[in-house]
Structure formats: structure tokens, C-alpha cells
Amino acid sequence: MPREEREAQLVVAGTEEFGRVGYAGASMVEIARRVGVTKPLLYQYFGSKDGLYLACLHRAGDRLTEGVATTMAAGGEPDQMPLKVLSAIFTTFDHDRYAWRLLRDDTVPATGDIAASAADYRHRLDAFALVGATQLMTSRGLADPVDIEAIAQVWTGVVDSLISWWIDRPDEDAAAMTARCARIMAGLFGW
């Protein structure tokens, strides 16, 4: 099998395994086993556990930030944005649901390339969340900047929860998930 194809397989397997048990809990030999090869090949292609994780992280992070950026750039009513962003995330990761977790994995080493890269992606997403939260709050006449920070962080936690719930229900596709969120938000908040 050509290197390029094997690498893609390994990144997919790595993303699932890292997403499932976190960086610290994942085992390189297990990731290799999932695609039917052995550990040294994995090391030959990615150099280290960090190298593999970075490859997985960049693929996930780039797709995610791009999808969210496009949605945010399109604009719209502040209380419509959360659903639009959710829809973009669900659509992007319908067949790759563990990817989101890589950006929020708190078992990665506290320093080094991974920490820096993950922090970078998180900052970019947090910036979007902050913009959305600010628009939402000002549209309601609220402006405490600390409240807005808190909302932005809770928002990412909500996405986290929804994706965890979704992972446990593989039969629910992106459209159904989006419809469910729309129904709930309309019912609970009148959005």
C-alpha cells in the first residue's frame, strides 16, 4: 500500500483513538493494530506520538475553523447563529465525530507543539464564540464582558456535550441532529 494512503488510514484511526481515550490514554501500538500494521511503520511515517497527534489535530482543526469561519462570515440574526454554526459542525464531522475532541483534549502535554497548536485552534474558535456571544448579548442589552466570556466558554461546552451525545447515537445523521437542536432551542428559548 502506498505511503500516502496508509498515512491517511493512520490519521483516521489515530483521530478515533485519540478522540476516544485522549492523547495520554491512547497507545501507538493499538492505533497501528487498528489499520493492520505495526508500530515502527507508524513511527517511520509520523516520527513520534506527537507527530501523529499533530497530523490528526491539524486535519480536524483546519476543517473545523474553516467551516465555522465560513458560517460566521455569512452573518445573520444573532440568535440564529448558534444553530447555523452547529449545523456546519455536524455536517463537517458527520463521518468523523471524534475529531472535535482533539481540540479539547486536556490530556495532551502542557507544553510543546501540541499544546501550542491546540491552543491556537481553541483561541480561533473561542474568538468566534466571543463574537457570537457579544452580538447575542448586545442584542439583549447586556454588555458585561466577563459574562460574555463565560457564555462563550459554556457555548463550547454545549457543543462538546452535543457531540458526545451524537457519538453515542451513530444512526442520527447531521440533518437530524440539526433539526433536533432547532426544535429544542425554539421550545426552550423561543429562538
Partner DNA sequence: ACGGTAACTTACCCTCGGGTCACTTTACGC
Partner DNA sequence: GCGTAAAGTGACCCGAGGGTAAGTTACCGT
Give me the residues that bind a copy of itself (CB under 8 A), please: 21-22, 24-25, 106-107, 136-137, 140-142, 144, 146-147, 149-151, 153-154, 156-158, 160-162, 164-165, 180, 183-184, 187-190
Q: Which does 175 bind (CB under 5 to 8 A by kind): DNA, a copy of itself, none?
A: none
Which residue, 10 or 177, has its beta carbon nearer to a copy of itself? Answer: 177
**Residue tagged 502535554 (cell numbers):** 109
Q: Which stretch binds DNA (CB under 7 A): 41-49, 63-71, 149-157, 175-183?
A: 41-49
Which residue, 53 or 93, has its beta carbon nearer to DNA? Answer: 53
Which residue, 79 or 120, has its beta carbon nearer to a copy of itself? Answer: 79
Count of C-beta atoms within a 10 Å radius of residue 38: 11
Specify burial of residue 71 (Cβ count, 10 A radius: 0-12, 13-18, 19+). buried
Closest CA to 63 of 22, 13, 99, 115: 99
Which residue, 74 or 142, has its beta carbon nearer to a copy of itself? Answer: 142
Residue 137 · residue 148 · CB < 8 Å: yes
Task: Kindly state whether residue 44 participates in binding DNA, applying the rule CB under 7 A.
Answer: yes
Which residue, 31 or 159, has its beta carbon nearer to DNA? Answer: 31
Helix (H, G, I), strand (E, B) or coil at 176: helix
Closest CA to 191 of 77, 72, 71, 79: 79
What's the rounded Cα separation, in Å, for the pair 191 and 183? 9
Least Å from the CB of residue 44 to DNA: 6
Q: Which residues contribute to the site for DNA (CB under 7 A)?
A: 1-3, 6, 26-29, 36-41, 43-44, 47-50
